[in-house]
Amino acid sequence: MIAYLIRRLLWALPTLLGVNLLVFALFFVVSSPDDMARAQLGAKRVTQEAIERWKADHGYDKPLFYNDNAQGSKQFTDTIFVQKSARMFLLDFGKSDLGRDINHELYARMWPSLALALPVFIVGLFVAIVAAMVLAFFRGTWLDYSGVIACVVLMSISSLFYIIAGQFIVARTWNLVPISGYEGGLDSIRFLALPVLVGVIAGLGSNVRWYRAIFLEEIGKDYVRTARAKGLSEGAVLFRHVLKNAMIPILTGTVVVIPSLFLGSLISESFFGIPGLGSFTIEAILMQDFAIVRAMVFIGALLYILGLILTDLSYTLVDPRVRLQ
């Protein structure tokens, strides 16, 4: 098991390297620093000088892979690839194209993101599992039937509508919470209540339907028949036997996102004015601050790979077959 985890960790490196190369190719091969400068400087007719100046200011004036003008190892390190791309492996993201210190921003904005994403994740998971178990318990009845229909309808509504409707009804019409904004400390509850509610509802449809299907699949298995043949009640069968087995497939889909919770959510944060990493990313995209986009892509991949490793770890908690072999 430990050897397996070490292998997974070692595998993460080439994957991250691949991500790094892919991003590098996208940003510096498909387009070029000149394009970026032009996009950044905005005006239709920019002089070549202005472009060169912008590139020099932002460190994009170096060659891509090999620097003829430099000495020694600098021939390789003083290049765009190393300075702008490979350096991210050291978690050093440098300055953004608009001059912001990315590492500093990351640290400051991580916590509001987590404050929103974590409750959404936990409450959402809990509500979805409970609802799915209720549907599974009443399987084949009108409750189940209408529950599934409701799930499909919930799934068919864009998350944007949930946010807009939530803001309109809860914040604007009922005046229960502020429409948007954020403050640290206990005050944050006031600001986070609505985004959390909206986030939970937006994810409910697909999750409940998926978990219900997992429960039903488990219920059809032989060990459930054995449990019934022992004289267990339906509730005991569901809670003692089915739930534990169903947690295995449920975990595959959920644990993997836990590290990514730090990234926050793009849409929700910018609608509700929460200064997290999601709104940070959106701002960067809208302002064409490519250094931030590159950094976020890399971090996103890093956290996802971390999530995969966590998933493997979590198996050992629920599945004795994995733990003991």
Partner 1 sequence: MRDFQIVVLWSDVLFAVLLAALAAGVAYAFRHEHLRRAWHTVFANRSAMAALVILLAYLLVTVLDSFHYRPALDQPDGVPQTKVQYSVEVLSLLDVALTTLRDTREKTYSAPFATHFFEKQMLEAPDGKQYRDYPRLKFGGAHLKDPAERAGDIAVRAAGGAALGGMLWLLAMLPIVRGVACSHQWTLTKAAREVLRGGTQIAWDGFAWALLFVLVLAGVLGTLSGHYHVFGTDATGNDVLYQTLKAMRVALMIGTLATLVVLPLGIGLGLAAGYYRGWVDDTIQYIYTVISSIPYVLLIAAASLMMTMLIERNGALFATAASRADAKLVALCAIIGAISWTTLCRLIRAETLKLRELDYVQAARCFGVSSLRIMLRHILPNAFHIVLITVVLDFSGLVLAEAVLSFVGVGVDPTSISFGMMINKARGELARDPLIWWSISAAFVFMVSLVLAANLFADAVREAFDPRALPSRRRLRLGAAK
Partner 2 sequence: MNQAPAETVLALRELSMHIDSERGVVRALDRVSFEIRAGETFALLGESGCGKSMTALSLMRLLPPAGRVAGGEVRMGGRDLCSLTEAQMRRVRGGDLAMIFQEPGTSLNAVLTVGQQLGEVLAIHRGLKGEAARAEAVALMKQVGIPDPERRLNEYPFQFSGGMKQRVMIAMALAGKPKLLIADEPTTALDVTIQAQVLDLMATLQREQRMAMMLITHDLGVVAKMAHRIGVMYAGHLIEEAPRERFFTKPAHPYSVKLFEALPEGHRQAGKLATIPGSVPPLTTDFIGCRFAERCPHAWDRCRGEAPSWHELGEGQRVRCHLYDAIEAGRLASRSGAAEQAAKPATRSGETLLEVEQLQVHFPIKRGVFQRTVGQVKAVDGVNLSLRAGRTLALVGESGCGKTTAGKAILRLIEPTGGGARLGGADLGALDTKSLRAIRSKMQMVFQDPFGSLNPRLRVAEIIDEGMDALGIGGDVATRRERILEIMRLVGLRPEMADRYPHEFSGGQRQRIAVARALAVSPQLIVCDEPTSALDVSVQAQILNLLQELQAELGLAYLFITHNIGVVEYLAHEVAVMYLGRIVEQGSAEEVLKSPRHPYTQALLAAVPRADLSAAQANGMPPLKGDLPSPSNPPQGCHFHPRCPKAADACRQAYPERVALSSTHTVACHFAR
Least distance between partner 1 and beta carbon 75 (Å): 27
Query: What is the rounded radius of gyration, in angstroms, for the C-alpha atoms of the chain?
Result: 25
Q: What is the amino acid identity at position 37?
A: A
* Residue 115 structure tokens: 């404050």
Among 47, 141, 158, 226, binds partner 1 (CB under 8 A): 158
Cβ atoms within 10 Å of 78's Cβ, excluding its own = 18
- Could you say which residues in the range 49-108 bind partner 1, by CB under 8 A? none
Q: Pick the piece of the chain touching partner 1 (CB under 8 A) from 57-65, 80-88, 149-157, 230-238.
A: 149-157
* 209 is a site residue for partner 1 (CB under 8 A): yes
Residue 323 CB, shortest distance to partner 1, in Å, is: 24
- Of residues 42, 72, 185, 320, which one binds partner 2 by CB under 8 A? 320
Query: Does residue 144 belong to the site contacting partner 2 (CB under 8 A)?
Result: no
Is residue 221 within the footprint of partner 2 (CB under 8 A)? Answer: yes
Instruction: Tally the C-alpha atoms within 13 A of residue 48's C-alpha that lie toward its C-beta.
Output: 0
Q: What span, in angstroms and rounded, lies between the C-alpha atoms of 255 and 26? A: 30
> Counting Cβ atoms within 10 Å, is residue 77 exposed (0-12), middle (13-18) or buried (19+)?
middle
Do residues 157 and 170 make contact, with C-beta atoms less than 8 angstroms apart? no
Q: Which of 204, 247, 267, 291 binds partner 1 (CB under 8 A)?
A: 267
Round to whole Å and give the CA distance between 118 and 302.
18
Cβ–Cβ contacts within 10 Å for residue 104, how many? 11
Rounded CA-CA distance 164/18 in Å is 38
Which of partner 2, partner 1, none does residue 141 bind (CB under 5 to 8 Å by kind)?
Answer: none
The region of 13-21, 61-69, 87-95, 242-250 touching partner 2 under the rule CB under 8 A is 242-250
Choose one: 186-194, 198-206, 231-239, 264-272; the region binding partner 2 (CB under 8 A). Answer: 231-239
Helix (H, G, I), strand (E, B) or coil at 199: helix
Residue 285 CA to its chain's centroid (Å): 17
Q: How far is the CB of 133 from partner 2 (least distance, A)?
A: 17
Out of 1, 17, 223, 235, the residue judged to bind partner 2 by CB under 8 A:
223
Residue 14 touches partner 2, criterion: CB under 8 A = no
Instruction: For the CB of residue 69, give the shortest distance to partner 1 in the complex, in Å.
Output: 27
Q: How far is residue 194's CA from residue 53's CA, in Å, rounded to a whole number?
A: 46
DSSP assigned state of 70? S
- Residue 229 as a binder of partner 2 (CB under 8 A): the answer is yes
Please check whether residue 64 is in contact with residue 85, taking contact to mean a CB–CB distance below 8 angstroms.
no
The one of partner 2, partner 1, none whose footprint includes residue 26, by CB under 5 to 8 A per kind, is partner 1
Which of these ranges, 105-113, 143-151, 181-189, 244-252, lies near partner 2 under the rule CB under 8 A?
Answer: 244-252
Is 66 or 145 the residue whose CB approaches partner 2 more closely? Answer: 145
Residue of 133, 151, 227, 266 interacting with partner 2 (CB under 8 A): 227
Q: DSSP string of 221-274?
A: SHHHHHHHHTT--HHHIIIIIIHHHHHHHHHHHHGGGTGGGGG--HHHHHHHT-
Binding site for partner 1 (CB under 8 A): 14-15, 18-19, 22-23, 26-27, 30-31, 35-36, 38-39, 117, 120, 152-153, 155-161, 164, 167-168, 199, 202-203, 206-207, 209-210, 213-214, 217, 253, 260, 263-268, 271, 277-278, 281-282, 285-286, 288, 290, 293-294, 296-297, 300-301, 304-305, 308
